[in-house]
Structure 1
Amino acid sequence: MEFSTVKRVHHYARDFPPGCGSNSPKTNQKPSEKPAESEKIPGFCSNSTAWRRSVPAVRSKPPIDDGVAVKIPQNVKGKALPGLGFDAFTERSAGDRKKEKVDEMKKSQNISRERGKVLEMVELFRKRCKEISMSGRGIRRINTVACAELRKEGKISNQSTLMIGAVPGVEVGDKFHYRVELAFVGLHKHYERDIDTMEWGGGRLATCIVASERHLDKMNDPNALVYIGEGGVLRRNKTGKPPDQELKGGNKALWNNKEENKPVRVVRGLTLDRRYGQKILYVYDGLYEVQTCIKKKGPSGNMIYEFQLTRCAGQPAVPWQSCRRYQF
């Protein structure tokens, strides 16, 4: 039997060229093709057939989403990641960020709560002082009586003054009418002494001082203060030369602040002249650093300690001109 190389499709006949058609030899070989220079993959030889037709994408920095935690292998933490072109990420999970936000919220709530407590106590105290003054009871020291009554009723309580630095709830520039107010808000616990102290490392540190224009303290500079130490005052009904001040008690504590580099709270007492006489306004001026302490002869001929303090940076300024015009 002989087969013709003529293939019939329907009623047509078609002759194929030699080597083509259905009877041509089969082959699995692909046509050799060389990739273009721009399509070669780096790292392969020039005659390699492994190549890609798409242009390789330019590597860029992966986007950092603050809400997505980026996981970094343990062995590359703290090192530069190859191929990224910037330092390694600092791993911080979403739970950590949520905890930080909660802590900040609680802190702000605590500050608001302490601030509200201070304002409420001061308002109640001044209202009670006004009631006692208008009652005609003939009480001389209205402030101490009002404070004792409110403390007995449980409406105010002395906050602790045994701390170095700012007092929660008290802001720079707050104004106070009496020394009693300084005590129950936690600034200064003494009604008469001008240096408040606390125990610290076997000694004592000064927590707060009350400067006054009547005690030769130099208060002209809003960012500096020259404070005269305590002591060296004649007792009542005595005349002559005052005794020398000694480096003990509050003076020693304030000296220790300079040695330990610890700040001290400063309250400035402004003497305001009014029609009915002089009135002292106490203004919280913030934190100060004790720079130097000099022992020198005072105006009365006795030896005194002169402390030079500078205001700590980063605190709001106090409007002293408006404080001078303050109305009780």
Structure 2
Amino acid sequence: MDEVKVSVICLAYNHEKYIRRSLDSILQQETNFKYEIIIHDDCSTDTTRQIIQEYHDEYPGQIKVILQDENQYQKGKPIVEEFMLPLASGKYIAFCECDDYWTDSHKLQLQYDYMECHSNCSLCCHNTIYHCLNKDVPDCNFNSWTDVHIMNEYEVFMQWKVHTSSFFMKKEDGWRDENTFKYWFGDYVRVTSLYLKGDIAVLPQVMSQYNYGVATGVLYNSDISKLETKKKNVLQRKEYLVYLLNKCGKCEDMINRRIKITELEAATLPEQSIIDTTNSKKEKQNAIRSIVSKKEFKEYLSLLRFFDVIKEYVKYGIKYIK
């Protein structure tokens, strides 16, 4: 029990409302191995830093803290790679940002046991609750798999079936390619790159909760940004995918498909905004007509099989505007 087997990576920034529940859920893990918690506070302006210090004082042998005097994310620093991984002693690392939390005290043990028995697994995940803080909508799960599931390339590149709070990997796989540090979607970079290295296994248990809508959340801020900023963020994903394809040469058809749908997403942001917000059937129909007339839509369809083309037309509601 003396050797640390797992290092838990916890990113914190203005998380005073959530961090106690997050850290408690990590400290409550029941394991037959030793694990440590590494917390990085990115110059919070609320009481997050004081709360972290309180926990460190109570668990000095288990918790390591990094308290920044300047915001490193705003400076473009790769926080996990530059500050946290060098302090990690474990064979494996797990992630839990301090506005999320774990819901099962056996999470670490289950993932550790799976990874120890499956050397071909590059990333072990599990199901997660999606909880929206700002809207009165019911919670939902990221996926509906009822057994251990090995993700396929469509699920990896085209969907969002696993959350960062479920990530469990070998420490040496925690370092992203330095050419990808600039991208805001670090979770997508990790999933897609680790898929090319081995199996991504998803345990069926629901063992964490993702709180969407936290003001400091990267995805939330991307979602509420102005259209031009949002377009830039979307096209960053295309840039990453082109880089990944040139680097690895694998999954070419699926990556090209995702590139095309990313181009379509960037080209139709105004129309999608109308579709999502208007109550006018006419405005919605005009927006749909605009989408299906764009060259990006036709280019995307050219990569699909016939039945997938039909699905896309149904998705965009073409049956209403014949």
Q: Compute the TM-score of the two structures, normalised by the length of structure 2.
A: 0.22
Higher helix proportion (structure 1 or 2): 2
Q: Compute the TM-score of the two structures, normalised by the length of structure 1.
A: 0.22
* Max Rg structure: 1
Larger relative contact order (Cα-Cα within 8 Å, sequence gap ≥ 6): 2
